[in-house]
Chain A
């Protein structure tokens, strides 16, 4: 079946439908990762976005329904590829990408010049777009793209956060044997972490568990008092979709948590929220960072980490208050990749130390959180 991807600037691309049929709208972005499409599809941070894979052959190894997902189901608004695979070739595969997308209602398109699209998004910036399948007028889709809601200012977190608090049990959802990274150091006693689910990837939970944490996950809207009431060893702010600006309720809670004085760690949207809570501002990047190859320098050690990234907004360096240090910098464009409060045990990174997909170079950050929690409670592993 034919399909069309139309953009708000009037450009459209003809391709073939893959997955579910119908019409879907979203912000069109690109991801340069060469592996991990299932993790990308199921990353809640992509809510509201049509994701283009720059790697041309997608779907080759199928999907491992339970093992390789980052949330219960795909979250992307749509999926764009150069070439999709008719089969799933991998010993862990439970089905093909096409069937997976169809089963979860994701409209995809294949066979388009994804490099031309990427170059357009790179030079003009990300834009709204619509994928439509079947007999469809491209001009109509362009009009729909122009009418689609903008990402700036919309609160997408409410659509992906959990409905009620729950406890993460390590045994619930672990990747197949041999794929977990051995943590550099484990907590010396079970640490209780309260986590805000702004659209949390499961691998964050898996990594926290692997480092020896018991995690209770709270909806984004839960008041900070609910979290603090469980007297956690630390509080975590997760990744999530969209613009941090409208998340005033999360930022308020973050301030309250920070004021509580306990260790706080955040990733991605959680980093932006903590940045806002600490007094910085955020802004929208032209085409974002989405991929698994971005070099980030750890300012303190000067070591380079190859990182997994997925964000369209960033903390404005000019707005960072004096008592907040920049701990990590992106070597592609100099943007802020990590912050830490000079006195309070609050730190956060813009990128994804939990990887999945992507390199494991930054797993040490979880150890850092563990250390902060242990130090706080006088149980430092090094003591």
Chain B
């Protein structure tokens, strides 16, 4: 079937900012789809509000709109671009929801745009559980019994019918937000009420529980000729009850007989046909009763998903790319399999290894969050590991998580995991992020597989594998470092034990284990992921390490650059760094190098085998990275390594790799270390004459107190070597400092604590620059934070160009940046944070590496900074690349953060020096107000253009809030305020009504919010006593989607945005036009 000819121009919808439940996987699938569509000669128009994606690179689509993903903006884009079709299946739930909304509003008919990949009916059947159930019944596929409730009373009737436990799922929420499992009436009351609130249609599904059943997912594809294939069966180790995104999963499915598997496959085929997915990929989840084999369908997603990204990486079958081609009318058998070249895509991949995916949570960022895992996803990232056996893949997966000693399952108490109260059985029965440690604890304590099964319902097969790992641990432990035979060492390595894990068990250093291994001649070989279990030759070096006989790496002798990726996503280290790694790969391939990627994150573009010449899907540890580099070197070519693009993960390995003789290119690890080493760095700044806030380095509580006395409170305290502001705090008095030093961190001479004078009310500035080997420096951009100092830069809105900083200070910043780049002999990227207080520009910190803002700035300026940096690192100069002046932008670009608070009931939404956002958006416009309004909207805050504003600020802020209140009143807002704030505002001539705070009587502000009588909140933290009051109000606001601004500068920005919203109709503009604007000006 040739491709359809009625489509010339396609609008692809991306998934927006990274949030829990929707991460890089949609950049991977969206980028693949765009590439596939363009390779067919189509015009691709892309819309995505997330600037940190590869897909929003201006050369991935013909026209790239970084605009809010709302129906109004989508309609504007459609009106302007007149696409023939819209592809909604590669942008996650966001894109599907947007398609539904466009459909409901009749935009497709109005503008004559076809929906391809999935029809509105198919999306509805899959989304609406009642319709889904009806559809399943009509084809004889069982589903758990369920019914909808639109009120709490209706919900109670249902629970009476099903009995406990029951599952509560709010309709139409992303990643199952607000859902959960209730075991008793009390939990049921909370969950069903909250679910009804959260659901945009105020409806929850109450469902018969299949908790404890085995859970499977099939990733399937169908073409327009009704050809159907299963790409990968995935089995969840955590039984039903835990969201699949929070489950440890394994591919292929390992505990199904062929009879059961084929029954599931048959059902999947009927389901995709019945739901009406004409072409493309779908994810279908099943539960199987372990005692009777009864199988029920749980849900289906008629689009690519996190699991389909995982399945693509696990099998080598690029689901999103193929799905895009199928949407154009091709049949599966008309599309070649990239890896084997000679065989078509109309087959089912078979794999001869085991893949394990392990989620990564960041509960340490949200200490009040409930750690129990439910049907609502809570993890922020994942690592995937590949081994020849389950044990190997599992242990590689655990060490890929990069959670320090806690990644080790044995050998001492893991870091950061306080001894948990409660008995082991409860920890096994109740799924949490730490359950796997409880499983191993129980096995070491002598529990039988049967006892463990009773408690956890994890399939006995997996438990037996874990028991096998424990048995090996015992043998290693008993042998000790001296008695460890070569045979036992090989057995341990074959089972996936890392050197570090073995070192912990044996009580020696990891280097000693590595030496033993090397003496015994044990090193990993690399096998290919080829979709076909070696039945055909593979032309794609997509490799994983294992301890086997034969190596298929076949490195060549071309000069190579190994790029170290950034590992699993976490708060503080996410897609921005993967973006930079990909760009390094693209640039170096163009420069004629063979590019080699090492990474273990299955969501990313960097782990697409198309991105680099050679992909090693391996953990980012010293052991694994060194082994890959050793193998690549064996062919004789020059091998160098890049560590500055992947965030802290590769940086932590830099010095070790260098001392092992690996050539690190770009800024030297010593310079990187110098910038991190407070004392060395302070000396350097002294020499350069650059001011720094007073500071000191404390190895103990006493030292910290001494420093704080000397420099004066408040102080900013944090551990050295962290990203994302982990455990960073501002303390205002000695008591708080003591608490911080004893509770939050574990200071020691090896791990000292940085104590800085906190510059209150300062402006913060972020600068990204590139520098070359000749000392030339080009500043990519000077980004002004909108919130004042004290809020982590990753959590702050920022704007380029700066809008309040005077030109003379901008000049100072440019000068300081150049001096530092030269002093540190930076070759590549450099990020500097400054604070401006009064007339002084202070330097806060320097990171001679890729920063989180590089992709945003690249999108704003049109210059791909990471690519430039990579070229500089292999010896090119800025002059050669034609970059002689600092970059400029045409228009104004605001970057805004997106937070996961809605997933963590009880967690405060207030911002601080510890980063909490998961993703970012960008808004562009002709002026600050428009750009800020778009960024707010993209981040999920729909600023009101009229209505009632509630103001409640602390005493220090009262003076400055007056002009904001006056502006709002001038814009026609009615002002209401808490008693103190109201009094102050009235004294300044404003007409203000008093609203009770929550502890002052009713109706209080919470009631007013619930009744939707308040449209905007300005609330700055009021200190400890009213903390809980404010917290409750902020959470209510969040649940009801009422914008809540917690800083005065943010409030002032919001006023500009509201003014812009009222003044002009929102317009859309592609990046390509903005960039042409810069070129025209230059």
Residues of A near any B CB (own CB < 8 A): 13, 30, 32-36, 38-39, 54-57, 60-61, 64, 67-68, 82-83, 85-87, 89-92, 113-116, 118-119, 122, 175-176, 178-179, 181, 291-295, 297, 302-304, 306, 331-332, 355-361
List 16 extra interface pairs beyond A64-B257, A67-B259, A68-B257, CB under 8 A: A32-B535, A38-B258, A54-B535, A56-B353, A61-B255, A87-B460, A89-B460, A89-B461, A118-B534, A291-B535, A293-B348, A304-B346, A306-B228, A332-B343, A356-B259, A357-B262
Q: Which residues of B contact A89 (CB under 8 A)?
A: 255, 459-461, 464
Proximity string of chain B (289-303) to chain A, C-beta cutoff 8 Å, 1 when within and 0 when not? 011110100000000
* Cβ-defined partner of B549 (8 Å) among A35, A113, A179, A331: A113
* Residues B257 and A115 in contact, CB atoms below 8 Å apart: no
* Residues B258 and A82 in contact, CB atoms below 8 Å apart: no
Q: Confirm or deny: B430 has a beta carbon within 8 angstroms of a beta carbon on chain A.
A: no
Q: Confirm or deny: B839 has a beta carbon within 8 angstroms of a beta carbon on chain A.
A: no
**CB closest residue in chain B, given A302:** B225
Q: How far is the CA of A157 from the CA of B467 in the complex (A)?
A: 44
* Residues B535 and A118 in contact, CB atoms below 8 Å apart: yes
**CB closest residue in chain A, given B459:** A89
Q: Which residues of B contact A358 (CB under 8 A)?
A: 258, 262
Q: Which residues of A contact B390 (CB under 8 A)?
A: 57, 83
8 closest Cβ pairs, A-B complex: A36-B258, A116-B550, A357-B258, A54-B533, A89-B461, A35-B258, A293-B348, A113-B549
Q: Which residues of A contact B333 (CB under 8 A)?
A: 295, 297, 304, 331
* Residues A61 and B293 in contact, CB atoms below 8 Å apart: no
**CB closest residue in chain A, given B344:** A331
A82 with B266: in contact, given A60-B461, A304-B346 (CB under 8 Å)? no
* Cβ-defined partner of A293 (8 Å) among B228, B291, B347: B347
Q: How far is the CA of A64 from the CA of B257 in the complex (A)?
A: 9
* Cβ-defined partner of A115 (8 Å) among B253, B259, B344, B352: B352
A355 with B262: in contact, given A55-B533, A91-B292, A331-B343 (CB under 8 Å)? yes
A303 with B225: in contact, given A33-B350, A56-B388, A116-B550 (CB under 8 Å)? yes
Residues of B near any A CB (own CB < 8 A): 225-229, 233, 252-263, 265-266, 290-293, 295, 331-333, 342-344, 346-354, 388-390, 449, 459-461, 464, 468, 527, 532-537, 548-550, 552
Q: How far is the CA of A68 from the CA of B263 in the complex (A)?
A: 14
* Residues B257 and A92 in contact, CB atoms below 8 Å apart: yes
A304 with B343: in contact, given A91-B291, A179-B259, A179-B263 (CB under 8 Å)? no
Shortest Cβ distance from A249 into chain B, in angstroms? 34
* Residues B550 and A87 in contact, CB atoms below 8 Å apart: no
Q: Which residues of B contact A67 (CB under 8 A)?
A: 259
* Cβ-defined partner of A87 (8 Å) among B233, B295, B464: B464
* Residues B346 and A295 in contact, CB atoms below 8 Å apart: yes
* Cβ-defined partner of B256 (8 Å) among A61, A331, A332: A61
**CB closest residue in chain A, given B549:** A113
* Residues B459 and A54 in contact, CB atoms below 8 Å apart: no
* Residues B262 and A119 in contact, CB atoms below 8 Å apart: no
Q: Which residues of A contact B351 (CB under 8 A)?
A: 34, 55
* Cβ-defined partner of A294 (8 Å) among B265, B347, B459: B347
Shortest Cβ distance from B501 into chain A, in angstroms? 20
Q: How far is the CA of A147 from the CA of B862 in the complex (A)?
A: 71
Q: Which residues of A contact B533 (CB under 8 A)?
A: 30, 32, 54-55, 115, 118, 291
A356 with B258: in contact, given A60-B461, A118-B352 (CB under 8 Å)? yes
* Residues B350 and A55 in contact, CB atoms below 8 Å apart: yes
* Residues A56 and B352 in contact, CB atoms below 8 Å apart: yes
**CB closest residue in chain A, given B350:** A32
* Residues A178 and B293 in contact, CB atoms below 8 Å apart: yes
Q: Which residues of B contact A359 (CB under 8 A)?
A: 262, 265, 348
Q: How far is the CA of A86 from the CA of B460 in the complex (A)?
A: 11
Shortest Cβ distance from A46 into chain B, in angstroms? 15
Q: Which residues of A contact B293 (CB under 8 A)?
A: 91-92, 176, 178
| 20 A–B pairs (Cβ distance < 8 Å), ordered by A | A34-B350, A38-B257, A56-B354, A60-B255, A68-B258, A82-B388, A115-B534, A115-B550, A118-B534, A118-B535, A119-B534, A178-B295, A291-B533, A293-B347, A295-B344, A304-B225, A306-B228, A331-B343, A357-B258, A360-B265
Q: How far is the CA of A332 from the CA of B265 in the complex (A)?
A: 22
A86 with B468: in contact, given A113-B550, A295-B333 (CB under 8 Å)? yes
Q: Which residues of B contact A303 (CB under 8 A)?
A: 225-227
Q: Which residues of A contact B343 (CB under 8 A)?
A: 295, 331-332
A56 with B389: in contact, given A91-B293, A293-B350 (CB under 8 Å)? yes
Shortest Cβ distance from B163 into chain A, in angstroms? 23
Q: How far is the CA of A33 from the CA of B256 in the complex (A)?
A: 13
* Residues A35 and B263 in contact, CB atoms below 8 Å apart: no
Q: Which residues of A contact B353 (CB under 8 A)?
A: 56
Q: How far is the CA of A137 from the CA of B461 in the complex (A)?
A: 35
A181 with B266: in contact, given A119-B534, A176-B293 (CB under 8 Å)? yes
Shortest Cβ distance from B683 into chain A, in angstroms? 55
A35 with B261: in contact, given A89-B460, A306-B348 (CB under 8 Å)? yes
Q: Which residues of B contact A92 (CB under 8 A)?
A: 257, 293
Q: How far is the CA of A331 from the CA of B345 in the complex (A)?
A: 10
Q: Which residues of B contact A91 (CB under 8 A)?
A: 290-293
Shortest Cβ distance from A12 into chain B, in angstroms? 11
A57 with B332: in contact, given A68-B258, A89-B459, A175-B259 (CB under 8 Å)? no
Q: How far is the CA of A68 from the CA of B293 in the complex (A)?
A: 15
Q: Which residues of B contact A83 (CB under 8 A)?
A: 388-390
Shortest Cβ distance from B1074 into chain A, in angstroms? 46
Shortest Cβ distance from B449 into chain A, in angstroms? 8
**CB closest residue in chain B, given A59:** B461
**CB closest residue in chain A, given B259:** A179
Q: Which residues of A contact B535 (CB under 8 A)?
A: 30, 32, 54, 118, 122, 291, 332
Q: How far is the CA of A5 from the CA of B44 in the complex (A)?
A: 55
